[in-house]
Amino acid sequence: MTTVPAVALVGISKRFGAIVANDGVDLVLSRGTVHAVMGENGAGKSTLMSILFGLVSPDSGNIFVDGKPTTFSGPLDAISSGLGMVHQHFRLFESMTVAENVVYGAEPRRNGLVNRKAAHDRVRELSARYGLDVDPGAVVGTLSVGTQQRVEIFKALHRDARILILDEPTAVLTPGEVTSLFAVIRRAADAGTTVVLVTHKINEVLSVSDEVTVLRDGRVTGRFQRADATSAKLVHAMTGREVTPVANSGSGSVGAAVLRVNNLTVVDHHTVRVTDVSVDVRAGEIVGIAGVSGNGQHELVEAILGTRRALSGTIELLGRDIGAASVRDRRALGLAVIPEDRRGEGSAVQLSTAENLTLGHHRTAPVGASRGLRRGWISLRAERARARDLIAEYDVRTSGEQLPVGSLSGGNAQKVVIARELSHNAPLLIAEQPTQGVDVGAIEAIHGRLLDYRATGGAILLVSHEITELLALADRILVMYAGRIFAEFSRSEATTARIGAAMAGAQAETDIPTEASRL
């Protein structure tokens, strides 16, 4: 074909010390298309985008914009050449209004002062053009994450970006917000904007992209047109191996109730977080809890674990009322938890991997002892041996069990948490976002383990905002919204659309309240 591509990156290489983040990468973006850049964590996607946007200078390779060789000395350069970027982590002024953020650096002026009215009009105009509703006068810090992201997008569109780079934009969005984001992306592309969508989610690539470039370990391992791309091909290019998705077959026998939560209400700082929630989880069953984060799921988990007191209601574990029991007693009775906040709650980053794996196992064999002379003492040798075994079993990539967990990548740190909690073999496992930050290949391994847990009679309460994960694993799915169980679906009734709608509070609202109702 003869059309000049909007952007061509040729032979881009970039090293960070010993790490080769990009290794001879070619990326060609055709004008007016949505181009997905895929790859697992650490594949080099963000680095490549930073190079394109002038934030990082490549060690070698060339950038062509509209066919002309270009070097960007910084992002301002890139912006003036018509590029715009929405970063993985937002770069907004939280105490300023939407309009101020959008026009920042390219303010409409009148008599040398910023023209506030023009700025507001501009935001309204962009809102109307792209069908995204944002209040120009709202203070950014008070907005939901999804809305903040729209502000980021508006910032780029305000400067008439012809090439829009979105780095993992959906990681923080609800299904409804993802849908409306994709509508905007489509509209922008149809209007001639070239969109680069960085992601590691296959369904997103398949639903919105025209072309796909796959990276692995800094190299291009696949290029596809939308029509040729299949889920299997993409996964293979990303991981370098065949990954067979696992799913709950629905078979197996369900036993007695392991967890019984009745009419639980949890209040935090005068705000009701959980309202009258009842859930049962039986042996050999995975009960999924769907919901946008902040709708009470985490407080429910904390109440079951015992790190938070419930206002009213009862919690029974294996038929015993544990409402007044300590965390330690609840765990001893048969509870393990994979928490949502890995760094804040699920691990101690300065402590070694071995020590992180030991917590909760330090008073029982083999590391500790629950009776006899060795009771209350720890065997360092047993701790090391156990840590090595778990590191091997769970494929944690680390150069030693004595290295601090903080030095591991997010996915590997997550595996440490999972290894520690699964190795309790507790009758009840609560898994909150168990695959967060974990690569595609490892996700399937973790899903497989959860299904094995279920098959051996374990009861699992699975809290997730990944609908695909819930559909693959859960026997039943409850949706939490504003602190209540808003809907319940059996395996056969559950569909992405139904769950997504319930997560948003059933009505197709554009803005989902993340705060539960005030007392």
Ligand X SMILES: Nc1ncnc2c1ncn2[C@@H]1O[C@H](COP(=O)(O)OP(=O)(O)O)[C@@H](O)[C@H]1O
DSSP string, 140-156: GGGS-HHHHHHHHHHHH
**Dist. CA 391–CA 383, nearest whole Å:** 12
Using rule CB under 8 A, residue 358 touches another protein:
yes
Q: Smallest distance from the beta carbon of 173 to another protein, in angstroms?
A: 19
**Dist. CA 5–CA 63, nearest whole Å:** 11
Using rule CB under 6 A, residue 176 touches ligand X:
no
Q: Smallest distance from the beta carbon of 403 to another protein, in angstroms?
A: 6
Q: State whether residue 265 is helix, strand or coil.
A: strand
406 phi/psi in degrees, rounded to 5: -60, -20
Residue range at the interface with ligand X (CB under 6 A); choices 37-45, 135-143, 265-273, 278-286? 37-45
Over the window 215 to 234, marking each residue x when it contacts another protein by CB under 8 A and - when it does not, the resulting string is -----xxxxxx-------x-
Q: With CB under 5 A as the rule, give the number of residues binding Mg ion.
A: 1
Using rule CB under 6 A, residue 47 touches ligand X:
yes
Using rule CB under 8 A, residue 404 touches another protein:
yes
Q: Please report where in the chains the tokens 């639980």 appear, as a residue.
A: 264
Using rule CB under 6 A, residue 42 touches ligand X:
yes
DSSP string, 414-434: HHHHHHHHHTT--SEEEEEST
Count CA atoms closer than 13 A to 393's CA, side-chain side. 14
250 binds, among another protein, ligand X, Mg ion, none (CB under 5 to 8 A by kind): none
**In angstroms, what CA-CA distances link 125 with 113, 129, 132?**
21, 6, 10
Q: With CB under 6 A as the rule, give the number of residues binding ligand X.
A: 11
Interface residue with ligand X among 44, 136, 284, 458 (CB under 6 A) is: 44
Q: Smallest distance from the beta carbon of 47 to Mg ion, in angstroms?
A: 8
Interface residue with another protein among 54, 169, 218, 339 (CB under 8 A) is: 339
Q: Smallest distance from the beta carbon of 383 to another protein, in angstroms?
A: 9
Q: Please report where in the chains the tokens 């609202």 appear, as a residue.
A: 509
* Comparison of 165 and 184: residue with beta carbon closer to Mg ion: 165
Q: Smallest distance from the beta carbon of 46 to Mg ion, in angstroms?
A: 3
Using rule CB under 5 A, residue 46 touches Mg ion:
yes
Q: Smallest distance from the beta carbon of 35 to ligand X, in angstroms?
A: 15
Using rule CB under 8 A, residue 296 touches another protein:
no
Q: Smallest distance from the beta carbon of 428 to another protein, in angstroms?
A: 14
* Comparison of 107 and 421: residue with beta carbon closer to another protein: 421
* Comparison of 245 and 437: residue with beta carbon closer to Mg ion: 437
Using rule CB under 6 A, residue 16 touches ligand X:
yes
Q: State whether residue 76 is helix, strand or coil.
A: helix
CA 301 to chain CA mean position, Å: 19
DSSP conformational letter for 5: P
Using rule CB under 6 A, residue 46 touches ligand X:
yes
Using rule CB under 6 A, residue 510 touches ligand X:
no
Q: Smallest distance from the beta carbon of 479 to another protein, in angstroms?
A: 26
Residues 6+ apart with CB under 8 A from 389: none
Q: Smallest distance from the beta carbon of 43 to Mg ion, in angstroms?
A: 8
> Going by DSSP bridges, is the β-strand pair 7-16/60-65 parallel, antiparallel, or unpaired?
antiparallel
Q: Please report where in the chains the tokens 């903080």 appear, as a residue.
A: 406
257 binds, among another protein, Mg ion, ligand X, none (CB under 5 to 8 A by kind): none
Using rule CB under 8 A, residue 436 touches another protein:
no
Using rule CB under 8 A, residue 186 touches another protein:
no
Near another protein in 298-337, by CB under 8 A: 305, 307, 326-328, 330-332, 337
What's the Rg (C-alpha) of the chain?
Answer: 25
Residue range at the interface with another protein (CB under 8 A); choices 97-105, 197-205, 351-359, 451-459? 351-359
Amino acid symbol at 425: N
Number of residues that make up the chain: 519
Residues 6+ apart with CB under 8 A from 497: none
Residue 303, Cβ density class (10 Å: 0-12 exposed, 13-18 middle, ≥19 buried): buried
Interface residue with another protein among 55, 118, 139, 378 (CB under 8 A) is: 378
| CA-closest candidate to residue 358, choices 388, 392, 394 | 388
- Is residue 242 within 8 A of residue 272, CB to CB? The reply is no
Q: Which single residue brings its beta carbon nearest to Mg ion?
A: 46
Q: Which residues pair with 274 in a beta bridge?
A: 266
Near Mg ion in 100-159, by CB under 5 A: none
Using rule CB under 6 A, residue 58 touches ligand X:
no
Using rule CB under 6 A, residue 21 touches ligand X:
yes
Q: State whether residue 66 is helix, strand or coil.
A: coil
Q: Smallest distance from the beta carbon of 132 to ligand X, in angstroms?
A: 25
Buried-exposed string 462-501: b where 16+ CB fall within 10 A, e elsewhere: bbbbbbebbbbbbbbbbbbbbbbbbbebeeeebeeebbbb
**Dist. CA 272–CA 471, nearest whole Å:** 29
Contacts with another protein by CB under 8 A lie at 1, 3, 5, 17-19, 28, 30, 89, 211, 214, 220-225, 233, 236-237, 240-242, 305, 307, 326-328, 330-332, 337, 339, 343-351, 355, 358-360, 362-363, 368, 376-378, 380, 395, 397-400, 402-404, 407
Contacts with Mg ion by CB under 5 A lie at 46
Contacts with ligand X by CB under 6 A lie at 16, 19, 21, 39, 41-47
